[in-house]
Amino acid sequence: MYISDVSIYLPEKVISNDYFESLNGLTNSWIVERTGIKERRKAAENENTHTMAVKATEALQETSDLSKVDLIVSGSYTPYDTVSTISHFVQHHLGIADIPSVYLSSACSSFLNAMELVEGYFAMGKAEDALIVLAEHNTAYNNDSNTKSGHLWGDGAAAIRVTKEKISEHSMEVIQIKTAGAATVGRGIDGVVLRPFDGGLSMPNGRDVFINACNYMAKSTQNILEDNQMTMQNLDFLITHQANLRIAKNVVENLEIPLEKALNNIEYLGNTGCAGCAIVLGENWRNFKKGANIVISVFGGGYSYGAMLLKK
């Protein structure tokens, strides 16, 4: 199967680190040193995961014909509505009746799990043209005053068209996807939590998250390359989950690849959850050259992890 097109949506409002210094005393230099984050986007009062998902879909419609979409899969851990989900809202927007519309959440790994779900539908002959929509409204659940993690989060969305066959010169072939849960490891079940009635979104065990994110994303990248008889020299670009620039740099160092091969947006978008890697892919979509090998490696609370190998 192929990723045929990608689009993104980012809210207009920019929150710089100066906001947190005035709020809770965390300086710009302190935040940048520990996270690499300089600013992030915040959804407006009239925005939520549903509206951001539709905006990303509208952007995709400008470059891709979605009239033949026969499957919609959405992912988010910050939903606006858990009954009428992002998928249903996008289906209503597209006006396509009687197609599967599925919502899933595996924290920041949802992008790759959504890709696997599409892969399964394609393999069973139940779909041929799928739309994946990922949206996070972290700031709706976040407590900005939380000095451990309040400054980490940003909002955004991405829409990805996935087709069974190659339909464009820009299409990327999905060579392999591997995902798994790691709930038995470390502080997996409470490393990152979102409890709407008990403190909202927080990261009470940040060090454990950091260590496992570094280890799992490096290992999953190495494993998927080895599965395909490839080495780090064959890797052109690596997109890791956009949680912390120090994590991304640590993964690069562990894999012994040049830093310029790692694509990031954490500095100006913050942690945009399961949409983060897809947003990076969308930002660089037209710049990848034919023959390029790209690995997307994710790690999410719970814990969950995985990697996907793409070839342009």
> Over the stretch 9-40, which tens digit does the pLDDT of each residue have?
999 999 999 999 999 999 999 999 999 999 99
Q: What is the end-to-end Cα distance of the chain in Å, rounded?
A: 12
**What confidence score (pLDDT) does residue 143 get?**
95
**What confidence score (pLDDT) does residue 306 get?**
98
Locate 113 and state its tokens.
Answer: 């799990």
CA-closest candidate to residue 239, choices 59, 224, 228, 79 = 224
CB 150 within 8 A of CB 91: no
CB 38 within 8 A of CB 63: no
Domains and CATH numbers, the chain: 2-163 (3.40.47.10), 172-311 (3.40.47.10)
**What confidence score (pLDDT) does residue 140 get?**
98
CB 234 within 8 A of CB 291: no
Cα gap 53→129, rounded to integer Å: 18
56 phi, psi to nearest 5 deg: -65, -40
DSSP character at residue 243: S
Locate 38 and state its tokens.
Answer: 């300089």
Cα gap 39→28, rounded to integer Å: 10
**What confidence score (pLDDT) does residue 210 get?**
95
Cα gap 182→173, rounded to integer Å: 27
pLDDT in tens, 223-276: 999 999 999 999 999 999 999 999 999 999 999 999 999 999 999 999 999 999
**What confidence score (pLDDT) does residue 184 get?**
96
Q: How much is the average pLDDT of 128-146?
A: 97
Peptide bond into 303 cis (omega under 30): yes
Q: What is the pTM for the complete model shown?
A: 0.97
**What confidence score (pLDDT) does residue 233 get?**
96
CA-closest candidate to residue 172, choices 71, 308, 28 = 308
CA-closest candidate to residue 299, choices 158, 191, 173, 140 = 191
